[in-house]
Structure 1
Amino acid sequence: MLDQAFVVRSLEEVRFWSRIMKEHSLFLKLGFRCEDTQLINEANHFYVTFEAIENKANAFTTGTDPNVIKRFNEEVHTATSYIWAFKRKVLGLILTCQLPGANNFPLLVDHVSREANYFRNRLAELNTGQLEPLADAIIDENVFFLRIMADHAKFISHLLDPSERQLVEQANNFSQEFDTLLYQARDLESMRPQSQTVPLLDQFLDQNRVSVKSLRDFKKTAKDLIDACRIKSIIHPLLADHVFREAEHFLVIIDMFERSLTDHQKSS
């Protein structure tokens, strides 16, 4: 039986991720060569598609019929599957050297395709009502987002001008820090179910929160400096804001898990 909680959760996910997908379309387009007109047109198509989805999601309210939202989720899932396939196609073209001189890093294209896959999986879980048990969700979500954060640090390092030595060093340090956190998360993952105790999961979330907050603050500083034209880089201002929002989103998820763990402890 679908209820209001399903509507709220669905709209939160679609509003956040449809904007992310829309911006991915723009970033990919900016990285193509002038002659890549077909790829540019496809990227423009996805930009328009996800802008329309974003607007539609914003027009819905928490009082919208859950069955309407379920059908909407199915539409969004289809669109997200198409953009995922587009991103994988672009990655294949890059890795087979068919786009020489283009400016999309292979890791960036893989990164945005992983986010599309994550989004469509979330939509499928919501529509089927088959959400992961709390302990599994905590580990799996952190494994996913820790890798996303590590990637962001690498992109920032490579898109800053090499002369911005201090900021490049800071970004590289964050890259190493989040690679280490990711390895730790994967260790916890391979030790489950024995590793899924409340004390271990609680410490896991606490440690990750500290590092994500620090990276979020670094991204905010970089964003403000880019907006004020105070540093040298080829980072698009929207990309700086984009990676900042994703760190904020990860913190919201960590806080949600912390509350759920506390509630679980009280009820057990």
Structure 2
Amino acid sequence: MSNAFVARSLDETRFWSRIMKEHSLFLRLGFRCEDTRLINEANQFYAIFESIENKANSFSIGTDPQTITRFNEEVHNAVSHIWVFKRKVLDLILRCQLPGANNFPLLVDHVSREANYFRNRLAELNTGRLEPLPDAIIDENIFFLRIMADHAKFISHLLDPSERKLVDQANHFSNEFDQLIFQARDLDSMRPQSQTAPLLDQFLDQNRVSVKSLRDFKKTARELIEACRVKSIIHPLLADHVFREAERFLHIIDMFENSLSGKPLPPPQSMVISDHS
């Protein structure tokens, strides 16, 4: 159990600390030149999570679990602070205190939801109170399906309007994932009667098909953006960022399906997916 705790903790922190670091960059790029205090705060968070990411990568599965417990507490504190920062930025935007800035309110809410997810996961790991498998399957899918729906909306709005075919594809994915979210919430409201192995297995299979299609679309978009073959205001790192989150979701679906069927779990994502730069 100690090895599993260390492996799971490091996998979560290696993935999400990089995501938090990149959120800091994306928020900074969306601020106005005169928003120097917010820019400085974003830069500070970038440095904090880069340090956390490096520290996580320096540990191994053989690291003492008590060391990882203390590290998780340190990371939880940092994530709680960036969550507060993100909600403050959202409040400023919704109160029209940042006119002309380029951060969508939904994007800021989106990145704050991911921070909240990360800090909750760290707390669960340190207390050893992970959800039972049937609950985790529904809750994780509701969370990630909404993340995927948001990504499709962001891509649609950040592509140049003249990229009509790609915009239409992004809008199609937005509608598809909105429908999947409604289905997931229906399954949620039918708990615990809905938590049979056949229903949960079908739920995962259906979501996998849609997530794979969206993942492939994101991969194509990333390649087009990096090659300057598409008109958009999407930062190349953002294109890679949303691709990695789709990969993460697919990995989680794999873990759930293997757990339902009793198959061996796949290795942590941080051990099988290399960074893209």
Q: TM-score, normalized by length of structure 1?
A: 0.98
1:48-197 counterparts in 2 under 5 A? 48-197=47-196
Once the 2 structures are TM-superposed, how far is the Cα of residue 67 of structure 1 from its aligned partner? 0.3
Residue 273 of structure 2 corresponds to: none
Aligned residue identity for 1:216: R
Once the 2 structures are TM-superposed, how far is the Cα of residue 263 of structure 1 from its aligned partner? 1.3
Quick check: 1:263 aligned with 2:259?
no
Residue 41 of structure 1 corresponds to: 40
Residue 215 of structure 1 corresponds to: 214
- 1:136-176 CA-to-partner distances (Å, cap 9, x unmatched) read 00000000000000000000000000000000000000000
Q: In structure 1, what is the Cα distance between the partners aligned to 2:211 and 2:194?
A: 22
Aligned pairs, number: 263
Residue 14 of structure 1 corresponds to: 13
Q: In structure 2, what is the Cα distance between the partners aligned to 1:70 and 1:259?
A: 27
The unaligned stretches of length 5 or more in structure 2 are 264-277
Question: Secondary structure, in 3 states, of the residue corresponding to 1:48?
Answer: helix
Residue 246 of structure 1 corresponds to: 245
- 1:105-126 CA-to-partner distances (Å, cap 9, x unmatched) read 0000000000000000000000
RMSD: 0.7
Question: Secondary structure, in 3 states, of the residue corresponding to 2:145?
Answer: helix
Residue 233 of structure 2 corresponds to: 234
Aligned residue identity for 1:182: I
Return structure 1 stretches of 4+ with deviation > 2 angstroms.
Answer: none
Q: TM-score, normalized by length of structure 2?
A: 0.94
Q: In structure 2, what is the Cα distance between the partners aligned to 1:167 and 1:3?
A: 47
Question: Secondary structure, in 3 states, of the residue corresponding to 1:88?
Answer: helix
The unaligned stretches of length 5 or more in structure 1 are none
Q: In structure 2, what is the Cα distance between the partners aligned to 1:48 and 1:4?
A: 29
Aligned residue identity for 1:225: L
Aligned residue identity for 2:237: L
- 1:226-255 CA-to-partner distances (Å, cap 9, x unmatched) read 000000000000000000000000000000
Q: In structure 2, what is the Cα distance between the partners aligned to 1:210 and 1:230?
A: 27
Q: In structure 2, what is the Cα distance between the partners aligned to 1:247 and 1:235?
A: 17
Residue 272 of structure 2 corresponds to: none
- 1:8-54 CA-to-partner distances (Å, cap 9, x unmatched) read 00000000000000000000000000000000000000000000000
